[in-house]
């Protein structure tokens, strides 16, 4: 798979996703009932950078299932709103206490803690307005259910809760896998699942898409752990080493660089395997698996190479 395939796709869809997100946030900004400080904090959390991985996954899955991306653009934005909310809350002093995100001050550093909490709440709830108004009426129920399940206590929020529990005994690999599955892979699974729903995919296609998302999402979080562990400040857009200083349960802590790398590569094989029956339109999903692999290959393990 040539890297140009994803580049070309990104060049078309990333600006469209950005414009759609701007439109959603500007609509709130224009609403005289929305406090300007609140809409400004929400806008800051969403529009100041970000790779837009989740909407890109949704559009690529929509394509893989034979649909037209344009029809799913607004619904795909709901995933980015949920993701942006999760980052705002993740960075709060009571959670990861990070001052920088995407190379800029975190939302609470810029707007204060109380408004950042509310901006996160606003992004989460507004995501469901955006999703419900943009899906075909007969599929709204399924879409809302998928996103709510993957973002809530049985998904991302549940994983974040496990993640902040104090470490009392040496964590096991199963425990770390479960946390990562919930806190990160669940929303990635929802992203490809939503793309499939938007294309009215069969139950069988949906199942393969979601299994792809689950494996890719876990690989993505292991790479995120490796970036933090090996000191990739530039890529992270903030000082690294945060996981270790907070005694977090991570893959490199248990498996080292080589073991974590092996896990990522094996998960990417699994993810690609789920696409076998989908045909040539799964090209962008395949390229996104290569993107995660590329992120892994660019890590310089330095002194932590074993």
Is 226 within 8 Å of 86 (Cβ atoms)? no
CA distances from 22 to 15, 41, 88, 131, 132 (A): 10, 13, 18, 16, 18
283 lies in the site for Mg ion, by CB under 5 A: no
246 lies in the site for ligand IPE, by CB under 6 A: no
Least spacing, CB of residue 143 vs Mg ion, in Å: 26
Least spacing, CB of residue 35 vs Mg ion, in Å: 27
Among positions 39, 60, 86, 106, the unique one binding ligand IPE when judged by CB under 6 A: 86
Least spacing, CB of residue 112 vs ligand IPE, in Å: 20
Residue whose CB is less far from ligand IPE, 177 or 201: 177
Residue whose CB is less far from Mg ion, 90 or 274: 90
Tally of CB atoms within 10 A around 12: 10
Which of positions 137-176 make contact with ligand IPE (CB under 6 A)? 156, 160
Q: Say if residue 41 is exposed, middle or buried (CB neighbours under 10 Å; 0-12, 13-18, 19+).
A: buried
Which of positions 204-223 make contact with ligand IPE (CB under 6 A)? 221
Q: Which does 221 bind (CB under 5 to 8 A by kind): Mg ion, ligand IPE, none?
A: ligand IPE
Q: Tell the residue number behind the tokens 């034979």, with chain if given.
A: 66
Q: Which does 274 bind (CB under 5 to 8 A by kind): Mg ion, ligand IPE, none?
A: none
Among positions 90, 189, 274, 283, the unique one binding ligand IPE when judged by CB under 6 A: 90
Least spacing, CB of residue 174 vs ligand IPE, in Å: 19
Stretch touching ligand IPE by CB under 6 A, among 13-21, 79-87, 146-154, 255-263: 79-87
Least spacing, CB of residue 53 vs ligand IPE, in Å: 5
Among positions 69, 74, 80, 96, the unique one binding Mg ion when judged by CB under 5 A: 96
Stretch touching Mg ion by CB under 5 A, among 50-58, 134-142, 220-228, 260-268: 220-228
Among 240, 249, 225, 98, residue whose Cα is nearest residue 164: 249
- Total of residues contacting Mg ion (CB under 5 A): 4
Among positions 224, 257, 295, 296, the unique one binding Mg ion when judged by CB under 5 A: 224
Is 268 within 8 Å of 289 (Cβ atoms)? yes
In the chain, the largest separation of any two C-alpha atoms, in whole Å, equals: 57
* Residues 204, 224: Cα–Cα separation, whole Å: 30
Least spacing, CB of residue 229 vs ligand IPE, in Å: 11
Q: What is the 3-state secondary structure (H, E, C) of 68-112?
A: CHHHHHHHHHHHHHHHHHHHHHHHCCCCCCCCEECCEECHHHHHC
Among 43, 65, 44, residue whose Cα is nearest residue 199: 65
Q: φ and ψ at 201, to 5 degrees?
A: -65, 155
90 lies in the site for Mg ion, by CB under 5 A: yes
CA distances from 19 to 12, 63, 74, 122, 303 (A): 12, 20, 10, 20, 42
Please report the DSSP string for 158-205 in residue order: HHHHHHTS---SPPPHHHHHHHHIIIIIHHHHHHHHHHHHHTT--HHH
Q: Tell the residue number behind the tokens 């296609």, with chain if given.
A: 205
Least spacing, CB of residue 163 vs Mg ion, in Å: 6
Stretch touching ligand IPE by CB under 6 A, among 10-18, 86-94, 143-151, 196-204: 86-94
Interface ranges with Mg ion (CB under 5 A): 90, 96, 224, 228
Interface ranges with ligand IPE (CB under 6 A): 50-51, 53, 83, 86-87, 90, 96, 102, 156, 160, 183-184, 221, 224, 228
């Amino acid at each position: 798979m040539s890297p140009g395939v994803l580049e070309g796709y990104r060049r078309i869809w990333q600006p469209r996703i950005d414009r759609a997100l701007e439109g959603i946030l500007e609509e709130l900004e224009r609403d005289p009932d929305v406090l300007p400080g609140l809409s400004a904090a929400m806008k800051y959390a969403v529009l100041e950078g970000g790779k837009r991985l989740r909407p890109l996954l949704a559009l690529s899955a929509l394509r893989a299932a034979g649909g037209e991306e344009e029809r799913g653009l607004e619904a795909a934005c709901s995933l980015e709103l949920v993701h942006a909310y999760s980052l705002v809350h993740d960075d709060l002093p009571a959670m990861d206490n990070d001052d920088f995100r995407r190379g800029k001050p975190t939302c609470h550093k810029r707007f204060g803690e109380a408004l950042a909490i509310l901006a996160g709440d606003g992004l989460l709830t507004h995501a469901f307005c955006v999703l419900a108004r943009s899906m075909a009426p007969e599929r709204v129920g399924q879409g809302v259910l998928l996103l709510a399940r993957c973002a809530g206590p049985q998904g991302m929020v549940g994983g974040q809760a496990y993640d902040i529990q104090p470490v009392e005994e040496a964590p096991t690999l199963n425990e770390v896998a479960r946390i990562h599955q919930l806190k990160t892979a669940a929303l990635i699974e929802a992203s490809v699942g939503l793309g499939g729903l938007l294309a009215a995919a069969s139950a069988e296609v949906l199942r393969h898409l979601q299994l792809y998302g689950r494996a890719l999402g876990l690989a993505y979080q292991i790479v995120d752990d490796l970036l933090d562990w090996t000191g990739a400040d530039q890529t992270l857009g903030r000082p690294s080493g945060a996981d270790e200083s907070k005694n977090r349960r991570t893959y490199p802590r248990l498996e080292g660089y080589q073991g974590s790398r092996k896990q990522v590569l094996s998960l990417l094989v699994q993810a690609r395997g789920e696409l076998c029956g989908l045909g040539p339109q799964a090209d962008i999903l395949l390229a996104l698996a290569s993107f995660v692999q590329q992120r892994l290959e660019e890590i310089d393990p330095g002194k932590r190479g074993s």
